[in-house]
Every structure is written in structure tokens, then in C-alpha cells.
Amino acid sequence: MNIRSHLAGLLLVLVLPLCAQPSLSLVQIIDAPSGVNTALGAKSVLQGGRLVVSYPSTSGGSVHIHARNEGGLDQWGRVQSLYAFDGQTSFGKAIELLEEELFVGSDQGTWSYKWNASLSAFGMPSQIDDYPVSAITSIDTLLVTTSVPPSGAEGILGAFDGLSRIFRKDDLVGSGWSLFDVVVIPPNPLVTGGWTCAGESVAIGRNVLVMGDPCYQSTLFGSSSNVFLVDRVVEGFDNNVIANFSVPEMSGRLGRDVAVLGDTVFLAQEGGWIVAIEWSGADNLGQHYAVLDTLFLEPYDQGEGCGRLDLSVDASGIVYATTSEGVVIFHTDDATGAWDDAELLDGTQFCGTLSCSNGLLAFCVISTGEVWLFEDPSVGVSEISFHDEVLVVSPNPAYEHVIVNSIERESGIRKLVLMDVTGRTIRSISWNALAPLGLDVSDVPDQVMLLRAEDAFGRLVGTARLVVGSN
């Protein structure tokens, strides 16, 4: 059975999950800054001990940075605020953190703010692009921004299209980022009305770009919403849609949010489930994705009451989603890798957006602008990191051979992936981290590489940078 017929079959299935006791505890509520407009909601991003919250506005907008342990207490405090400038609108409509760099999107483009360690603050903005932004995401050395045309209006390239612009880290240009590739999703040729909003949600993996198109497309066969998967090739993304998942209008909007974790892609749909799919190989008929698991949001209201369905996936594989009855949580079964039934996080019965990072969850309440911070006590503050202290690489730089060690023998590592600066996979090696791994890099061109350690389910365990250079 192919995935399209599988998705259609899901329309007839009702599953009422048993709710387990959530493991997250509310640790703090951060009030919205005075005078902010919450009409367009709020967005957040968590990374280590840093929380960024944005409040976009049709007349401007602002972005606020919070740090943990501010003032020596185990609390989060606001340490910096950024505001719209030069007449920008919807400033903070999309935000992203990538290591020590903050990206802010608005109707007028994308700006980069780099961390200034001596000032303990983000520095002056540098414009990366002038295309209006709908969403931003990143992986390793790649940054993706999407542009979606307004309803009934022509798209960026003169058609009713959705657009992803992919940038690569490049220290030789002023902004530090150069345009790497452009992916355009035009309307279905059978569309008889409407427009595409492909890119309203976006996620990127090592070898795939996922663009959600939750706007209903009217075709000869009825109205539907879609998610597009675009393949990665050596020099970029080849504009070839390798998978297009579609559901009829009566089933709710597919692609309201999307996420990627390892080789697993998550497709969120109002009405109400999250489908986890995984690449299952390629043959002469093309590439294939198969259903890995289905995460049912029943019996909770699946977002229709809020007009949104927000999705976030932790590096450990925990899936969070918003409903009008509260945040629901899906934990993974360590033995099988499948997801358990939904848990409702008590006290979150508001419409909102969310983000997560290693045992922390930030829930932005749209009506008040407050940010509710939850924490899993079993993770603890000391375990919240950037995954950069697990792998030890020697020698570095390397010329022919390199030895990789894990400082945590029980880290759960099952695979080591070697990637180039664009995030393209060069080599993938099975490794349990119980003994040092010898790696031959004599055939690798001189460049900076990234080593990524993953567990049995493709979840990130650790990373390390490797410089390959000739002697």
C-alpha cells in the first residue's frame, strides 16, 4: 500500500489513547514585554541556555532574548531586545538560532545577528536577503527561508508559487551567508482556482527539504492540501519533488507544520494526527517514503479552535503538538522506537505556539503573550547542551587518517555520519562507540567537515568539526 492510500485510509480510523502522566513540570512564566502587540501571536526558539521570543506586528515587531541563570538564580531573565527598524513589518514573523547566530525574518527580508562575546549580546544586524519571509529553518551549515505569496496575489517569480531560498555559510561575503539554491513549488497544473502556499511550514534534513502547503488547492478532483519533499543532490536541491502527500479538504489541512529528525519526516494535519514517515529506498521508479508510525491527536481538539497546529520534535525523539485543549506529548518507546499514545500537558488549555530543546519546552500563549517554561526533571540543567562534548577527534586537522572516540561509552551511538560544509552526507559508518573508530580521509578534499553521531533511530547524540587538509 502506498502512503497516499494509507493516509486516505486513516480518515476512517478513530483511536482513543490512554493518557499517561506527563513528565514536564512548569518552572516559570515569563510575562510579555510592556506594550507588545500579540495579535499575530508569538514565536519562540530554544537552544541550550538561551530562549528567543518574537512578537511580530503589522506595524513593526520585536524580538526578545532570555538567558538562564540570569542574576545567579535558576531562572530565565530578559537580557536583550531587538526592534523593527527602517519601516519593517512583521519583524520576528520567523526566527531561528544556529549556534551563536540569530536570524530574524520580516516582510522585508532576513537579518542575521551574531553573538558578541565581549558584550554578552547580539550585535548589529546584517541583511542576508530581501525576500519576504514566511518561515526559517537550518541544519549544520545551511539556512533556509521561505516566501509564500499572499492569498490571491502573484508569487515572487510572477506565478502563484511557493519558494525556498537556501543559503550556505560563507565567511567571504559580508553577511556570512551566500545563496546556495532556490526551490520553487508551482501550483498543480490541474488547479482550477486558488494558489499555493508551499513553504508556510518548512523543515530540512541532511538529504531532504520538506515544504508544507496547507492551503486548499481546487482541482478537477476536489480540494486538497499538500506536503512536498524535495531531494538533495551533490550540488544542491534538484527541484525534483520526490514525494507529494495530499489529503482532501474534508480531512483538515495537511502541512500546517512539518519537522525532520534524522531520516524521519513528521507531517502534522489538523483533524487530527501527525504522520511519521521514513525514507525506505529507491529503485528505477523513484524514491519512496513509508509510514513509520501515526501519532493520533484524538480525543483532543486538533487545532481547529485555534486556527493553527504547531509541531516541535526534540532531539531525543519526543514530539510536542498544540491543540485548543492544550499541549500533547508523544514519548518514544526505547525498545521499538515507536511513539506512545498522546499525553495532555495539564494547564495548557490555550491556543499557542511552542519550541523545545533537550528536556525544555517553551509554550507561547497567544492571548496574553506569556511564555510558559516547562522542564523534565529527569534531564536537568547540566544535560542541556549543544551536543559538542561527546566526540573527540584526533588528529585535527587530519591528512590521511583520523581517530574518533566517544567520551560516553553508554551514549547510545550506533552510526557516525561524515558531512561536508553544505550538509551533504559523504560517508555513513556503523559504530557503537565502545571502541575508537579509525577513519580514512585521504580521499576527502581539503575542507572543513562535520561529524554527526546518531543513535539507532537517527537521533542526534553528538557532533564534532573536522578539518581535512594536505600536509
Interatomic CA distance for residues 255 and 358, integer angstroms = 24
Q: Which CATH number does 391-468 carry? A: 2.60.40.1930
Q: Which residue has the cell 526559517?
A: 136
Start and end residues for every CATH 2.130.10.10 domain found in the chain: 3-383
Interatomic CA distance for residues 160 and 213, integer angstroms = 12
Q: What's domain 3-383's superfamily in CATH? A: YVTN repeat-like/Quinoprotein amine dehydrogenase (2.130.10.10)
424 phi, psi to nearest 5 deg: -75, 135
Which residues in the chain come in under a pLDDT of 70? 1-22, 70-74, 149-161, 186-196, 216-224, 233-240, 247-252, 271, 281-287, 301-308, 377-389, 408-411, 421-423, 456-459, 470-471
Start and end residues for every CATH 2.60.40.1930 domain found in the chain: 391-468
The set of cell numbers assigned to 294 is: 501515526
Q: What is the pLDDT of residue 387?
A: 42
Q: What is the pLDDT of residue 384?
A: 33
Q: What is the pLDDT of residue 97?
A: 92
DSSP label at residue 300: S
Q: Which residue has the cell 564534532?
A: 464
The set of cell numbers assigned to 411 is: 551514549
Q: Please state, in angstroms and as integers, the Cα–Cα distance from residue 39 to each residue in 58, 89, 329, following that order.
A: 9, 13, 26
Q: What is the pLDDT of residue 239?
A: 60
